[in-house]
A and B are shown apart, each in its own frame.
Chain A
C-alpha cells in the first residue's frame, strides 16, 4: 500500500463516518457502553480480588491446642499442621505469648494486667494459600489429634468469594452480549455506507480496483468508530472510577476498603479498551463488506 493511499483511505473512512451521523453516533455509543460495562465489572472484580488477597494475608485460622498437651507435645504438632494441604505456614504461639499480645492491646486497662496465662490456650496461627478452600482446611485441621478447636472467619471469606464469582459471571456474559451487539450495529452502519457508495464501488470494480483497495475505506471507518468508542469509554471509565473511589473514601463504613488508585490501572485499562474497540470496529466492518466483495 502506497503512502498516498493511506491518507486517502483515512479521509474516505472519516467522511463515510460523518455521512451517517446518527448511525455512527449509535455505533460509537453502543461500543462505549460495551467497553464501559466490561471495564466497570472488570475493575470491581480486580478490586475484589485485591481485597481477597489482603484478607488471605491477614485472615489467620487459629487452631487451639488441647489443654492436656505439654509444651513439647504441642510444639510437635507443627510438622503435622504444615503438612495439611492449603496451609502456607503454622506459627506456634504459647499461652504466655498470647497473653502478652492480648494485654498489649489494652495498655490503659488495669483489669487485664494480672491475668493468669493459664486461662488461655496454646495455639497455632495458620495462614492458608487459597481462601476459597478455607472450610475444608478448617475441617482437616479440626480432625488432627491434639487440636481442640479451630476458629476461622469463613463467612467473611465466603462473601468476598461470592462477590468475585458473581461479578465474573455477569461480566463475561455482558461482555459477550454487548460485544456481539456492538459488532452488529457497526456492521449495519457500514452496510449503509456501502449502499450509499454502491455506484462508486461498481465503478472501482469496473476499472480494475482490487478487493483490498475497495475494502480499506470501510475498514478504516470501522476502525475509527471503534477507536473513538474506546477513547470516550476510557475517559468515562476514569471519571466513574474516580467518583466511586471518592464515595468509598468518604463513607464511614466503606472507608475500610482500600480501592486501587486509577493511576495504577490506567495503562491496562487503556490497552484493553483500545484493543477491544478496534476489534469491534474492524470486526463490524469486515462482516459488513464480506458479502458484496464476492464478484
Chain B
C-alpha cells in the first residue's frame, strides 16, 4: 500500500514542486497519474522511490515509512518497487538476458533463481525470442518491454512507470499499456504517469490529476477537464 499524507516537497533551488498532497493507493490497484508538464508528477515518483525527501508530511510505501527511513532500509524498500522510465535506461553493452540477470544479481539472487525466472518474465512481455539481442537491436516498444521485464524480474509488489509511452508511437503505446494492465491483473499494483488522454480514457481506471503540486481530481474513468498537454 502507498500512502501520502499532507506531503510537501521543495527542491534545493526553492521550487515548491509538491504543495500538500494526500493520496492512498491500495494493493492491487491500477492508477493513472496525469497532469500538465511541470505539475509535479515526476516529483511524486521520486518521493516514492526515495530519490528525494519530503520536507513535510508522511509517506508510507509497502510497510516502510519513507519520510524517516534509515539508510540501510532504503534498498529493502526499493526492492518492493519496479520502476520504469520514459527513456528505458537499459545497459547497451549487455544483452536483454544480461540486463535482467544483472538486476537479479544486484539483490542477491542465485544463478539458479536467475535461470528459472528470466525466461518466465521474458515470455510475459513477449520477448522470449530476444534474450540474446542487444538493446540497440530492438525497437523502442521492445526496449520498453525489456524495461518492464526488468522492473518485474525481482517480483516487486508495485510497478511505477513515469511516462513509459513517451517515446513510443500510438500502437506501441496501446500495447504497452495493455501489458501493464495484464501485469496488474496478475496481482501487482501499478502506478502510471502519463499525459496521453486517449489511452487513459480507453482503460476506465482510477485517474489522479495533479496540477501545480496539488491533487485536483481523483476519480474512476477518464481525464477531467483542463489542459492535458504535457
Contacts and interface: CB of A to CB of B under 8 A. Distances in A.
Interface of A: 2, 4-5, 8, 199-200, 202-211, 213-214, 295
A8 B106 CA distance: 10
A210 B89 contact: no
A213 B102 CA distance: 12
Interface centre among B75, B76, B91, B105 (most CB of A within 10 A): B75
Contacts of B76: 208
Contact of A213 (B81, B89, B106): B106
B89 A199 contact: yes
Query: Closest 9 CB pairs between A and B?
Result: A208-B78, A208-B79, A209-B106, A208-B75, A204-B106, A207-B103, A210-B75, A206-B83, A4-B111
Interface in B108-151: 108, 110-111, 150
Interface centre among A2, A209, A295 (most CB of B within 10 A): A209
8 contacts: A200-B91, A204-B102, A207-B78, A207-B83, A208-B81, A208-B107, A209-B107, A295-B74
Interface in B166-183: none
Contacts of A2: 108, 110
A4 B71 contact: no
Contacts of B67: none
A179 B79 CA distance: 40
B78 A206 contact: yes
A207 B154 contact: yes
Contacts of A207: 78-79, 82-83, 103, 106-107, 150, 154
A204 B74 CA distance: 12
A119 B19 CA distance: 111
Contact of B103 (A199, A204, A210, A214): A204
B77 interface: yes
Nearest to A204: B106
Given A4-B110, A200-B102, A204-B106, A209 B75 contact: yes
A206 B91 CA distance: 14
A202 to B, nearest CB: 8
B49 interface: yes
A43 to B, nearest CB: 45
Interface string B60-80: 000000000001101111110
Interface in B75-98: 75-79, 81-83, 89, 91
Given A207-B103, A207-B154, A208-B106, 15 more contacts: A2-B108, A5-B105, A5-B108, A204-B102, A205-B78, A207-B106, A207-B107, A208-B79, A208-B81, A208-B154, A209-B106, A211-B75, A213-B106, A295-B50, A295-B74
